[in-house]
Amino acid sequence: MTKKTGKKESYWWQHKSFNEIEEHAKECDIAILPLGSIEQHGHHLPTGHDTLQLFPMLEKVAEETGAMLLPTPWYGAHPHHHWEFPGTIPLENDTLNKLIKDVVRGAAKAGFKKFILFFGHGQAFVTNYTVQELGREGYYVLSVMFQSMVRDIHKDIFETPFWHADEAETSLALHNFPEYVDMSKAVDMGATSLVDGEFVSGCTDYGVSTPLRFDSGTVSAPEYKDLKTEDGELIGVVGKPSLASKEKGEEYTDYIVERTIKLVKHIKEKYPAGEEVETI
Ligand SMILES: [Zn+2]
Instruction: Give pLDDT tens digits for 158-196.
Output: 988 888 899 999 999 999 999 999 999 999 987 655 556
Q: Measure 208 CA to ligand 1 centroid, in angstroms.
A: 23
Q: Measure 50 CA to ligand 1 centroid, in angstroms.
A: 5
pLDDT at 218: 40
pLDDT at 196: 60
Cα gap 198→204, rounded to integer Å: 15
pLDDT-derived band at 209, boundaries 50, 70, 90: very low
pLDDT at 191: 63
pLDDT-derived band at 239, boundaries 50, 70, 90: confident
The burial of 270, by beta-carbon neighbours within 10 Å (0-12 exposed, 13-18 middle, 19 or more buried), is given as exposed
pLDDT-derived band at 96, boundaries 50, 70, 90: very high
pLDDT at 278: 83
pLDDT at 235: 85
pLDDT at 192: 59
Mean pLDDT throughout 15-19? 96
| Residue-range domains of the chain with CATH | 13-270 (3.40.50.10310)
CB count within 10 Å of CB 147 equals 24
CA 27 to chain centroid: 26
Q: Measure 40 CA to ligand 1 centroid, in angstroms.
A: 8
Query: What's at 139, amino acid-wise?
Result: Y
Predicted confidence (pLDDT) at residue 219 exceeds the cutoff of 90? no
Query: What's at 41, amino acid-wise?
Result: H
Q: Measure 4 CA to ligand 1 centroid, in angstroms.
A: 40
CA 188 to chain centroid: 23
Q: Between residues 212 and 33, which one has the greater pLDDT?
A: 33
Q: Measure 122 CA to ligand 1 centroid, in angstroms.
A: 7
pLDDT at 214: 47
Q: Measure 109 CA to ligand 1 centroid, in angstroms.
A: 32
Q: Measure 43 CA to ligand 1 centroid, in angstroms.
A: 13
Range with lowest mean pLDDT among 82-91, 140-149, 230-239: 230-239
Q: Measure 137 CA to ligand 1 centroid, in angstroms.
A: 31
Mean pLDDT throughout 90-112? 95
